[in-house]
Amino acid sequence: MNRTDVLNALIKARGYESYLELGVRKGGNIRRITAPDRTGVDIRLAVDMGIPREGLTLIQKSTNEFFEDNMLKFDLIFVDADHRFGPCLADVRNAVKALNPGGTVVMHDVFPETEQMASPEMVKGYNLWCGECYRVFLKYRGYKGYYAYTVDCDHGLGVIASKRTGQDFDTPKRYTFAEFQQHADEWLGLISPAEFIGLLDATEEIGN
């Protein structure tokens, strides 16, 4: 299972119709998303012009610029743009505000396997970079009123929704990457792809 599988499973289970992707790159993911209304935002679009365009809007802007003008709401938002802490946190905060009732945010790269992958800046010569997305996700794991967990595939897919009961997890204020690795299963709320499919029957709603 990969990011596309997880996103399409949510679309099918929840009946989602509108989808926003932050960080389109070459369009390999968004072209396979099954929602009828898809919007992709990337400051450096490099999309294959042969990609099917029906129901697809591509916007060449930074994510900040997009949200400054955006008046639309979406059922599902996939965050996979700038992996530095500050920009990633801004993207997730803006994404939560742009959700329809009952919508979901999914973050990519929240389970880096090595310290190089988790570096605040991309390490030269090291292609796999998750950055500090995991630190942003852990903030939401600790926010009361939210229900957040991680599907253990594709470098970690962090699912953020809301629930009236919230969750009982206190994100540590300070921690090293070694401590994160030691406690990753608990801190990330890690579940297998099979467990994720089993959760899709649960009612999850997100609020602003």
Phi and psi dihedrals of 90, rounded to 5? -60, -40
User: Is this prediction's pTM over 0.75?
Assistant: yes
Report the pLDDT value the prediction gives residue 208, as an integer from 0 to 100: 41
* pLDDT, mean of each 10-residue run, the chain (208 residues): 97 96 93 96 82 86 96 97 97 96 96 94 83 96 88 97 71 94 96 93 51
Identify the CA nearest to 202 among candidates 145, 144, 163.
Answer: 163
Report the pLDDT value the prediction gives residue 207, as an integer from 0 to 100: 43
Q: What is the pLDDT of residues 71-127, one digit of tens each?
A: 999 999 999 999 999 999 999 999 999 999 999 999 999 999 999 999 999 877 777
For 74, the token pair is 């979406």
- For domain 3-198, the CATH superfamily is Vaccinia Virus protein VP39 (3.40.50.150)
